[in-house]
Amino acid sequence: MVSNNQLFHLFLFPCFFQITCLHAHQLCTQEQSSALLQFKRQFSFNKSASYDFCDYFGIHSYPKMESWKEGSDCCSWDGVECDNNTSQVIGLDLSCSWLNGTIHPNSTIFSYFPHLQSLNLAFNDFGTGGSLPPRT
């Protein structure tokens, strides 16, 4: 038979370790969240921006940036990948995300993410005449 004291320890220690693990996980920085939200404001969302390719070929398209909310951890946002150890944003996959607008050469995406390893903006509508600046 298990005593009340043993039950207390069985329930206390898993909670203790779970709380410790939650606090050990780093969240993305406020600077990264703000830069991503500023990037988001460059676009409007229009299903037809992605429909021609994505939906036609059965690739699910949806506005991934809708999950991007002030005050939440940007590492949990759709399309955002963070390094598990440093919580630095290392990847953005915004393909088939209904993005409609222009990417400016001075966009926050190019200046606030030095650890960015992958950027997928395929199958959105960025208009004509725009170009991405070269990576330095």
CATH number at residue 115: 3.80.10.10
Residue range of the domain that includes 57:
28-120
pLDDT at position 79 is 96
Q: Is 6 part of any domain?
A: no
- DSSP, collapsed to helix, strand or coil, labels residue 50 as helix
Question: What does pTM read for this prediction?
Answer: 0.74
- DSSP, collapsed to helix, strand or coil, labels residue 99 as strand
Per-residue pLDDT of 36-95, as tens digits, reads 999 999 999 988 888 778 888 888 999 999 999 999 999 999 999 999 999 999 999 999
pLDDT at position 22 is 42
Q: Is 60 part of any domain?
A: yes
125 strand-pairing partners = 100
Q: Is 95 part of any domain?
A: yes
Q: Is 92 part of any domain?
A: yes
Residue 12, pLDDT above cutoff 50: no
Q: Is 3 part of any domain?
A: no
pLDDT at position 2 is 52
DSSP 132: P
The domain total for the chain is 1
Q: Is 46 part of any domain?
A: yes
